Amino acid sequence: MISIDGVSQTFKGKSGPVEAIRDISLTIGEGEFLTVIGRSGCGKSTLLRMVAGLLKPTKGEVRVAGEVVREPRRDVAMVFQKPALLPWRSVEDNIMLPVEIFGRRKADHRAQVDRLLETTGLTAFRKRLPHELSGGMQQRVSLCRALIQNPKVMLMDEPFSALDALTREELAVELQRIHMDLGTTIVFVTHSIQEAVLLADRVAVLSSRPGQVRRLVEIPIPRPRSFGHNAHMDQVAGVSAELHSLLLSDTHLPKTSTL
Amino acid sequence: MTDFDAGSRTSRVWTNVGLPILGVIITVTGWWAITAAFHIDPFYVPSPADVVDTFLRTPEFLLQETWTTLQRVLIGFAIAVALGLVIAVTLAASRTVERMAMPILAAINAVPKVALAPLLLVWMGFGDSPKIVMVVLVSFFPVIVSTMAGLTSTPDDLQELTRSLKASWWQTFVKVRLTWALPQVFVGLKVATPLAIIGAVIGEVVNPDRGLGSVIAGSGASNDTPLAFAALVLLAVTGVVLFYLVAGIERLLVPWRVAK
């Protein structure tokens, strides 16, 4: 569904060019859930923005559904770290925003909005304004707004990282269910090993400065997965430990003093 | 005083209505006490009672003049707001136009408007129009500046969102930027409201015919300080009423901001 082919990105910084991404190649299959994990500043968001068509690669190219990405596509939905809701629009009107912008008929999407509100437990809050909702609920609205696009691909940029730990887990489990139901291809950027292990088919571990794929780790644990006690705790612990050591042994970072 | 009773209805009425009224009462009493304690000659500073007496001597006349000034303020303010919004939207739409027009606008704003009053007299003669033009000149700039600040303050995440949805420039402008700018627009409107009154009074003092500014100018000639004070109080009351009117409209149009 997505092929990233020798993509590099160099920004012009004040003190010379900054190489954010170097020669990344990845292929993401239809319906696959790929998690991109790395330390902050390793260029994971940059990579995602290039897939989204928000940023042009300095070198290489990205294809979605066989077509080279030169600008954003309407069958690719983004979910940002911030919910990015319009503060004057109610929950349901925020979800309808893409429908309006695409110039589609709102009446045709009412039923889908109802279903999305139902799935995310927001039905009782549909008329509320964003500032009346908790952070977790706001991010659910933002997820619904992405899903109303009926996207082939969802690109998620640390969508849960501003939330408290329990809400994050809750939302991650919800996202897993949505992915299992819809089979949307998802690229999910995070710095949480836990989220990566819960959600991903494969995890791309990036190294820092410049961002390069250090390793692709398969997560063969059957779904639905869950946090806490479950039948695959050994496997979860094993994969988590592997990701942990990959991230900590990132040699491109200057060594800090001993902890 | 504490957050606990902030929710109950009586205490809300007290904070929103009672406290401002109490403030006014204390100020007027203080003014009165000072004039009485120091036996100040009403020719210099009249007491509140002198001012009220003066007002009650010719209430219809003063209210009529207030209405004249208020009309000029309202017409001028409406023109200033319309003009300010159109200019701000044009400038926000095009970097080139903004770069070209900004120094000119800043220069116009920097010209002391009092200095223009005699020119307006030459160009437009007596009557309403030079006063209305003065109101526009004094109050349009804050509307432009604040509206532009609002239009350029769209947060990055919302800009990325509209880009990722491939929204057109016009869709982004109408559905996101314009509404996002509203709270800032109102900051400008609240600054411009008192300026509009000042503009009308400048016009009337320099080029007196009717209106409260003309009353003040005339009171100087007849040594009637209490009359000038009565006119000032009426201007102040007009200013307060207009300010709260704008704030009320803001409450209606920008509920998400006020609720925070």
What would the pLDDT profile of A70-102 be if each residue is shown by its tens digit? 889 999 999 999 999 999 999 999 999 999 999
B173 → chain A, closest CA residue: A101
Task: Please state the φ and ψ torsions of residue A168, each to the nearest 5 degrees.
Answer: -60, -50
Question: Does the beta-carbon distance from A77 to B164 stay under 8 Å?
Answer: yes
Question: Does the beta-carbon distance from A78 to B256 stay under 8 Å?
Answer: no
Residue A257 reports pLDDT greater than 90: no
pLDDT at B136: 95
Largest CA distance in chain A: 61
Nearest-CA neighbor of B132 among B63, B70, B188?
B70
Chain A positions in Cβ-Cβ contact with residue B175 (cut-off 8 Å): 86, 97, 100-101
Whether residue A96 lies within 8 A of chain B, CB to CB, comes out as no
| Amino acid letter for position A129 | L
A98 → chain B, closest CA residue: B165
User: B120 and B103 in contact (C-beta within 8 Å)?
Assistant: no
Chain B positions in Cβ-Cβ contact with residue A73 (cut-off 8 Å): 166
Question: Which secondary structure element, helix H or strand E, spans residue B259, and what is its range?
Answer: none
Distance from CA of A212 to the nearest CA of B (A): 25
Distance from CA of B183 to the nearest CA of A (A): 11
A99 → chain B, closest CA residue: B165
- CA dist., res. A200 & res. B146, Å (int): 47
Residue A20 reports pLDDT greater than 50: yes
User: A69 and A61 in contact (C-beta within 8 Å)?
Assistant: yes
What would the pLDDT profile of B17-46 be if each residue is shown by its tens digit? 889 899 999 999 999 999 989 888 888 889
At A7 the three-state DSSP class reads: strand
Residue A237 reports pLDDT greater than 90: no
A173: number of Cβ within 10 Å:
16
Whether residue A1 lies within 8 A of chain B, CB to CB, comes out as no
| Amino acid letter for position B37 | A
- Which domains does chain A possess? 28-55+70-75+152-252 (3.40.50.300), 83-150 (no CATH)
User: A88 and B179 in contact (C-beta within 8 Å)?
Assistant: yes
Question: Does the beta-carbon distance from B160 to A54 stay under 8 Å?
Answer: yes
Question: Does the beta-carbon distance from B171 to A101 stay under 8 Å?
Answer: yes
User: Closest partner residue to A131 among B161, B176, B256, by Cβ?
Assistant: B256
Question: Does the beta-carbon distance from B167 to A88 stay under 8 Å?
Answer: no
Question: Does the beta-carbon distance from B171 to A54 stay under 8 Å?
Answer: no
- CA dist., res. B234 & res. B202, Å (int): 16
Question: Does the beta-carbon distance from A84 to B160 stay under 8 Å?
Answer: yes
Assembly ipTM: 0.84
Look at residue B131 and tell me if it is in a domain: yes
Look at residue B227 and tell me if it is in a domain: yes
What is the pLDDT of chain A when averaged over all its residues?
86
pLDDT at B117: 85
Residue A14 reports pLDDT greater than 90: no
Question: Does the beta-carbon distance from B157 to A82 stay under 8 Å?
Answer: yes
Among A48, A90, A91, A97, most B C-beta atoms within 10 A, so best to mutate, is: A97
B204: number of Cβ within 10 Å:
27
pLDDT per residue of chain B (260 residues) written in tens, 0 to 9: 444 545 677 888 888 888 989 999 999 999 999 998 988 888 888 989 888 998 999 899 999 999 999 999 999 999 999 999 999 999 988 888 888 988 888 888 888 888 888 888 888 888 899 999 999 999 999 999 999 999 988 999 999 999 999 999 999 999 999 999 999 999 999 999 999 999 999 999 988 899 999 999 998 888 888 999 999 999 999 999 999 999 999 988 887 775 44
pLDDT at B67: 96
Q: How many domains does chain B have?
A: 1
At A154 the three-state DSSP class reads: strand
CATH number at residue B225: 1.10.3720.10
CB pairs under 8 A between A and B: 59
Q: Quote the domain boundaries for residue B153.
A: 58-258
**% pLDDT > 70, chain A:** 96
pLDDT at A251: 58
Look at residue B147 and tell me if it is in a domain: yes
Chain A positions in Cβ-Cβ contact with residue B259 (cut-off 8 Å): 129, 131
Question: Does the beta-carbon distance from B158 to A101 stay under 8 Å?
Answer: no
A252 Cβ contact partners less than 8 Å away, ≥ 6 residues apart: A207, A208, A209, A210
pLDDT at B129: 92
pLDDT at A216: 85
pLDDT at B1: 44
Output DSSP code: residue A163.
S
What would the pLDDT profile of A170-180 be if each residue is shown by its tens digit? 888 889 988 88
Question: Does the beta-carbon distance from B164 to A82 stay under 8 Å?
Answer: no
